[in-house]
Structure 1
Amino acid sequence: MIYQYKFEKILTIKEKEKRDALSKYNAALKTFEKVAEKLYKLLKKKEDLLEFQQEKLRNGLSVQEIRHHQLFMDNMEKLLSHCQQEVIEARYKMNVLQEVLLERNIEVKKYEKMKENEFLTFLDVIKEAENKQMDEISIRQFFSKGR
Protein backbone atom coordinates (compact mmCIF):
# COMPACT_ATOMS: atom_id res chain seq x y z
CA MET A 1 0.00 0.00 0.00
CA ILE A 2 1.22 3.48 -0.84
CA TYR A 3 0.47 6.35 1.51
CA GLN A 4 -1.43 9.25 -0.05
CA TYR A 5 -2.29 12.26 2.13
CA LYS A 6 -5.82 13.38 1.33
CA PHE A 7 -5.06 17.07 1.98
CA GLU A 8 -1.74 17.17 0.10
CA LYS A 9 -2.93 19.83 -2.37
CA ILE A 10 -4.25 21.99 0.45
CA LEU A 11 -0.96 21.62 2.31
CA THR A 12 0.92 22.63 -0.84
CA ILE A 13 -1.28 25.71 -1.24
CA LYS A 14 -0.83 26.64 2.43
CA GLU A 15 2.95 26.27 2.11
CA LYS A 16 2.90 28.53 -0.96
CA GLU A 17 0.83 31.10 0.98
CA LYS A 18 3.37 30.90 3.79
CA ARG A 19 6.27 31.47 1.38
CA ASP A 20 4.43 34.44 -0.16
CA ALA A 21 3.73 35.89 3.29
CA LEU A 22 7.40 35.41 4.22
CA SER A 23 8.61 37.22 1.10
CA LYS A 24 6.18 40.10 1.73
CA TYR A 25 7.29 40.31 5.36
CA ASN A 26 10.96 40.33 4.35
CA ALA A 27 10.28 43.11 1.83
CA ALA A 28 8.44 45.13 4.50
CA LEU A 29 11.30 44.52 6.94
CA LYS A 30 13.84 45.81 4.40
CA THR A 31 11.65 48.86 3.74
CA PHE A 32 11.38 49.53 7.46
CA GLU A 33 15.14 49.21 7.92
CA LYS A 34 15.78 51.55 4.98
CA VAL A 35 13.36 54.21 6.25
CA ALA A 36 14.62 53.88 9.82
CA GLU A 37 18.20 54.29 8.64
CA LYS A 38 17.14 57.39 6.67
CA LEU A 39 15.56 58.81 9.84
CA TYR A 40 18.69 58.06 11.84
CA LYS A 41 20.87 59.85 9.29
CA LEU A 42 18.55 62.86 9.31
CA LEU A 43 18.63 63.01 13.11
CA LYS A 44 22.41 62.79 13.05
CA LYS A 45 22.56 65.53 10.43
CA LYS A 46 20.27 67.72 12.55
CA GLU A 47 22.46 67.17 15.59
CA ASP A 48 25.57 68.10 13.59
CA LEU A 49 23.84 71.19 12.23
CA LEU A 50 22.80 72.30 15.72
CA GLU A 51 26.39 71.95 16.90
CA PHE A 52 27.58 73.89 13.87
CA GLN A 53 24.99 76.60 14.49
CA GLN A 54 25.94 76.88 18.17
CA GLU A 55 29.59 77.25 17.21
CA LYS A 56 28.70 79.94 14.69
CA LEU A 57 26.57 81.77 17.28
CA ARG A 58 29.52 81.84 19.68
CA ASN A 59 31.70 83.38 17.00
CA GLY A 60 28.99 85.80 15.87
CA LEU A 61 26.53 85.68 12.99
CA SER A 62 24.66 88.22 10.96
CA VAL A 63 20.88 88.36 11.19
CA GLN A 64 20.67 87.10 7.61
CA GLU A 65 22.74 84.03 8.46
CA ILE A 66 20.63 83.34 11.56
CA ARG A 67 17.45 83.54 9.46
CA HIS A 68 19.02 81.27 6.86
CA HIS A 69 19.96 78.69 9.52
CA GLN A 70 16.52 78.92 11.12
CA LEU A 71 14.79 78.42 7.77
CA PHE A 72 17.05 75.46 7.08
CA MET A 73 16.28 73.98 10.52
CA ASP A 74 12.53 74.47 9.94
CA ASN A 75 12.81 72.57 6.67
CA MET A 76 14.86 69.90 8.43
CA GLU A 77 12.10 69.55 11.07
CA LYS A 78 9.47 69.11 8.34
CA LEU A 79 11.63 66.48 6.67
CA LEU A 80 12.16 64.71 10.00
CA SER A 81 8.44 64.77 10.73
CA HIS A 82 7.69 63.27 7.31
CA CYS A 83 10.36 60.63 7.76
CA GLN A 84 9.06 59.73 11.24
CA GLN A 85 5.62 59.20 9.72
CA GLU A 86 7.16 56.94 7.07
CA VAL A 87 8.87 54.92 9.83
CA ILE A 88 5.58 54.56 11.73
CA GLU A 89 3.78 53.39 8.58
CA ALA A 90 6.57 50.99 7.63
CA ARG A 91 6.63 49.54 11.16
CA TYR A 92 2.84 49.10 11.11
CA LYS A 93 2.93 47.36 7.73
CA MET A 94 5.78 45.15 8.88
CA ASN A 95 3.87 44.17 12.05
CA VAL A 96 0.69 43.40 10.07
CA LEU A 97 2.63 41.23 7.65
CA GLN A 98 4.36 39.51 10.56
CA GLU A 99 0.94 38.60 11.99
CA VAL A 100 -0.14 37.25 8.59
CA LEU A 101 3.06 35.21 8.41
CA LEU A 102 2.43 33.77 11.88
CA GLU A 103 -1.13 32.82 10.89
CA ARG A 104 0.10 31.12 7.71
CA ASN A 105 2.77 29.30 9.68
CA ILE A 106 0.17 28.03 12.17
CA GLU A 107 -2.06 26.82 9.32
CA VAL A 108 0.83 24.92 7.72
CA LYS A 109 1.78 23.38 11.07
CA LYS A 110 -1.83 22.21 11.57
CA TYR A 111 -1.89 20.46 8.19
CA GLU A 112 1.56 18.97 8.78
CA LYS A 113 0.42 17.64 12.17
CA MET A 114 -2.72 16.20 10.56
CA LYS A 115 -0.54 14.55 7.90
CA GLU A 116 1.75 13.11 10.56
CA ASN A 117 -1.18 11.73 12.58
CA GLU A 118 -2.81 10.30 9.47
CA PHE A 119 0.48 8.67 8.45
CA LEU A 120 0.87 7.10 11.89
CA THR A 121 -2.68 5.75 11.59
CA PHE A 122 -1.79 4.41 8.13
CA LEU A 123 1.26 2.64 9.60
CA ASP A 124 -0.90 1.15 12.36
CA VAL A 125 -3.36 -0.20 9.78
CA ILE A 126 -0.53 -1.75 7.77
CA LYS A 127 0.99 -3.27 10.90
CA GLU A 128 -2.38 -4.68 11.93
CA ALA A 129 -2.88 -6.16 8.44
CA GLU A 130 0.59 -7.70 8.57
CA ASN A 131 -0.14 -9.16 12.02
CA LYS A 132 -3.39 -10.70 10.75
CA GLN A 133 -1.58 -12.14 7.78
CA MET A 134 1.11 -13.59 10.05
CA ASP A 135 -1.60 -15.07 12.31
CA GLU A 136 -3.25 -16.72 9.31
CA ILE A 137 0.07 -18.14 8.14
CA SER A 138 0.78 -19.45 11.65
CA ILE A 139 -2.67 -21.07 11.86
CA ARG A 140 -2.23 -22.71 8.43
CA GLN A 141 1.19 -24.01 9.40
CA PHE A 142 -0.18 -25.34 12.68
CA PHE A 143 -3.03 -27.15 10.96
CA SER A 144 -0.80 -28.52 8.21
CA LYS A 145 1.68 -29.92 10.76
CA GLY A 146 -1.10 -31.26 12.95
CA ARG A 147 -2.42 -33.58 10.23
Structure 2
Amino acid sequence: MTTLQTFYKIKDLQEREKKEKQKVYQEQVDHFETVATDLYELLKRKETAADQFAEQLKLQTVKAQSFIQHEQFIEQLDKQINELQPLVQQARNDMENAHEHLSSAHIEVKKFDSLIDRRLQKHKDWLKVEENKSMDELSTRQFLNYKNR
Protein backbone atom coordinates (compact mmCIF):
# COMPACT_ATOMS: atom_id res chain seq x y z
CA MET A 1 0.00 0.00 0.00
CA THR A 2 2.99 2.36 0.22
CA THR A 3 2.90 2.70 -3.56
CA LEU A 4 -0.69 3.88 -3.26
CA GLN A 5 0.42 6.66 -0.91
CA THR A 6 3.02 7.62 -3.47
CA PHE A 7 0.35 7.80 -6.14
CA TYR A 8 -1.75 10.02 -3.89
CA LYS A 9 1.21 12.36 -3.39
CA ILE A 10 1.87 12.51 -7.12
CA LYS A 11 -1.82 13.14 -7.75
CA ASP A 12 -1.77 16.01 -5.24
CA LEU A 13 1.24 17.45 -7.01
CA GLN A 14 -0.53 17.12 -10.37
CA GLU A 15 -3.62 18.83 -8.94
CA ARG A 16 -1.52 21.75 -7.68
CA GLU A 17 0.03 22.10 -11.13
CA LYS A 18 -3.44 21.95 -12.66
CA LYS A 19 -4.63 24.75 -10.37
CA GLU A 20 -1.62 26.86 -11.32
CA LYS A 21 -2.32 26.27 -15.01
CA GLN A 22 -5.97 27.09 -14.43
CA LYS A 23 -4.92 30.38 -12.85
CA VAL A 24 -2.61 31.16 -15.79
CA TYR A 25 -5.42 30.28 -18.22
CA GLN A 26 -7.84 32.59 -16.42
CA GLU A 27 -5.26 35.40 -16.55
CA GLN A 28 -4.84 34.80 -20.29
CA VAL A 29 -8.61 34.85 -20.79
CA ASP A 30 -8.88 38.12 -18.88
CA HIS A 31 -6.03 39.64 -20.90
CA PHE A 32 -7.63 38.52 -24.16
CA GLU A 33 -10.99 39.95 -23.13
CA THR A 34 -9.38 43.28 -22.26
CA VAL A 35 -7.49 43.58 -25.55
CA ALA A 36 -10.43 42.32 -27.61
CA THR A 37 -12.75 44.78 -25.86
CA ASP A 38 -10.36 47.61 -26.70
CA LEU A 39 -10.40 46.54 -30.35
CA TYR A 40 -14.18 46.27 -30.33
CA GLU A 41 -14.49 49.78 -28.87
CA LEU A 42 -12.23 51.19 -31.58
CA LEU A 43 -14.20 49.44 -34.31
CA LYS A 44 -17.44 50.67 -32.79
CA ARG A 45 -16.10 54.26 -32.65
CA LYS A 46 -15.08 54.03 -36.30
CA GLU A 47 -18.48 52.71 -37.33
CA THR A 48 -20.30 55.34 -35.29
CA ALA A 49 -18.15 58.13 -36.75
CA ALA A 50 -18.79 56.89 -40.29
CA ASP A 51 -22.53 56.65 -39.66
CA GLN A 52 -22.67 60.13 -38.12
CA PHE A 53 -20.72 61.65 -40.98
CA ALA A 54 -22.94 59.92 -43.55
CA GLU A 55 -26.00 61.23 -41.74
CA GLN A 56 -24.50 64.70 -41.67
CA LEU A 57 -23.89 64.50 -45.43
CA LYS A 58 -27.54 63.58 -46.03
CA LEU A 59 -28.90 66.45 -43.97
CA GLN A 60 -26.70 69.35 -45.04
CA THR A 61 -23.75 70.43 -47.07
CA VAL A 62 -20.40 69.84 -45.42
CA LYS A 63 -17.31 72.00 -45.62
CA ALA A 64 -14.12 70.60 -47.07
CA GLN A 65 -12.45 71.03 -43.67
CA SER A 66 -14.99 68.61 -42.15
CA PHE A 67 -14.09 66.01 -44.80
CA ILE A 68 -10.41 66.38 -43.95
CA GLN A 69 -11.03 66.17 -40.20
CA HIS A 70 -13.25 63.14 -40.62
CA GLU A 71 -10.69 61.43 -42.87
CA GLN A 72 -7.89 62.15 -40.38
CA PHE A 73 -10.00 60.80 -37.52
CA ILE A 74 -10.79 57.60 -39.47
CA GLU A 75 -7.11 57.19 -40.40
CA GLN A 76 -6.13 57.58 -36.74
CA LEU A 77 -8.68 54.93 -35.74
CA ASP A 78 -7.47 52.64 -38.54
CA LYS A 79 -3.91 53.03 -37.31
CA GLN A 80 -4.93 52.16 -33.74
CA ILE A 81 -6.97 49.21 -35.00
CA ASN A 82 -4.06 47.91 -37.09
CA GLU A 83 -1.75 48.20 -34.08
CA LEU A 84 -4.20 46.40 -31.82
CA GLN A 85 -5.11 43.50 -34.13
CA PRO A 86 -1.75 41.67 -33.72
CA LEU A 87 -2.02 42.13 -29.96
CA VAL A 88 -5.47 40.56 -30.01
CA GLN A 89 -4.19 37.66 -32.10
CA GLN A 90 -1.23 37.14 -29.75
CA ALA A 91 -3.53 37.25 -26.73
CA ARG A 92 -5.80 34.68 -28.43
CA ASN A 93 -2.82 32.41 -29.14
CA ASP A 94 -1.59 32.74 -25.56
CA MET A 95 -5.05 31.92 -24.27
CA GLU A 96 -5.31 28.85 -26.53
CA ASN A 97 -1.86 27.64 -25.44
CA ALA A 98 -2.80 28.09 -21.79
CA HIS A 99 -5.99 26.11 -22.46
CA GLU A 100 -3.99 23.28 -24.02
CA HIS A 101 -1.68 23.19 -20.99
CA LEU A 102 -4.70 23.16 -18.69
CA SER A 103 -6.27 20.31 -20.65
CA SER A 104 -3.10 18.23 -20.47
CA ALA A 105 -2.84 18.88 -16.73
CA HIS A 106 -6.45 17.79 -16.31
CA ILE A 107 -5.71 14.61 -18.25
CA GLU A 108 -2.71 13.88 -16.03
CA VAL A 109 -4.84 14.21 -12.90
CA LYS A 110 -7.45 11.89 -14.41
CA LYS A 111 -4.73 9.36 -15.24
CA PHE A 112 -3.63 9.24 -11.63
CA ASP A 113 -7.25 9.05 -10.47
CA SER A 114 -7.84 6.01 -12.64
CA LEU A 115 -4.48 4.51 -11.65
CA ILE A 116 -5.36 4.87 -7.97
CA ASP A 117 -8.83 3.44 -8.57
CA ARG A 118 -7.34 0.41 -10.33
CA ARG A 119 -4.84 -0.10 -7.52
CA LEU A 120 -7.61 0.10 -4.92
CA GLN A 121 -9.77 -2.33 -6.87
CA LYS A 122 -6.83 -4.68 -7.29
CA HIS A 123 -6.18 -4.52 -3.54
CA LYS A 124 -9.87 -5.16 -2.77
CA ASP A 125 -9.83 -8.16 -5.10
CA TRP A 126 -6.69 -9.47 -3.44
CA LEU A 127 -8.27 -9.05 0.02
CA LYS A 128 -11.36 -10.92 -1.14
CA VAL A 129 -9.25 -13.79 -2.49
CA GLU A 130 -7.28 -13.96 0.76
CA GLU A 131 -10.47 -13.89 2.79
CA ASN A 132 -11.89 -16.73 0.68
CA LYS A 133 -8.68 -18.73 1.19
CA SER A 134 -8.81 -18.27 4.93
CA MET A 135 -12.50 -19.18 5.01
CA ASP A 136 -11.78 -22.32 2.98
CA GLU A 137 -8.95 -23.23 5.32
CA LEU A 138 -11.10 -22.61 8.38
CA SER A 139 -13.98 -24.68 7.05
CA THR A 140 -11.56 -27.48 6.11
CA ARG A 141 -10.15 -27.50 9.68
CA GLN A 142 -13.61 -27.55 11.18
CA PHE A 143 -14.61 -30.40 8.92
CA LEU A 144 -11.49 -32.39 9.83
CA ASN A 145 -11.95 -31.66 13.53
CA TYR A 146 -15.54 -32.81 13.33
CA LYS A 147 -14.57 -35.97 11.48
CA ASN A 148 -11.84 -36.83 13.98
CA ARG A 149 -14.24 -36.96 16.91
TM-score, scaled relative to structure 2: 0.88
Cross-structure match for 2:98: 97
The answer to whether the 8 A contact 2:4-2:116 is kept is no
Which stretch of structure 1 is more off in the superposition, 126-135 or 78-87? 78-87
Structure 1 residues 3, 136: closer, same or farther in 2, change over 3 A? farther
Aligned equivalents of 2:46, 2:72: Cα separation in 1: 13
Structure 1 counterpart of 2:47, one-letter code:
E
Please list, as runs of the form range in 1=range in 2, the aligned pairs for 1:66-145 lying within 5 A after superposition. Answer: 66-145=67-146
Which stretch of structure 1 is more off in the superposition, 3-12 or 82-91? 3-12
Please list, as runs of the form range in 1=range in 2, the aligned pairs for 1:9-24 lying within 5 A after superposition. Answer: 9-24=9-24
- Give the Å deviation of 1:2: 9.4
Cross-structure match for 1:32: 32
Mark the runs of 5 or more structure 1 residues left unpaired by the alignment.
none
The answer to whether the 8 A contact 2:4-2:119 is kept is no
Aligned equivalents of 1:115, 1:90: Cα separation in 2: 37
TM-score, scaled relative to structure 1: 0.89
Aligned equivalents of 2:6, 2:137: Cα separation in 1: 31
Structure 2 counterpart of 1:51, one-letter code:
D
Structure 1 residues 79, 94: closer, same or farther in 2, change over 3 A? same
- Give the Å deviation of 1:138: 0.5
Large movers: runs of 4+ above 4 Å: none
Provide Cα deviations, 1:85-117, integer angstroms capped at 9, x if missing partner: 221111100110111111111111111111111
Mark the runs of 5 or more structure 2 residues left unpaired by the alignment.
none
Percent of aligned positions with the same letter in both sequences?
33
**C-alpha RMSD of matched pairs (Å):** 1.9
Cross-structure match for 1:60: 61
- Give the Å deviation of 1:26: 1.7
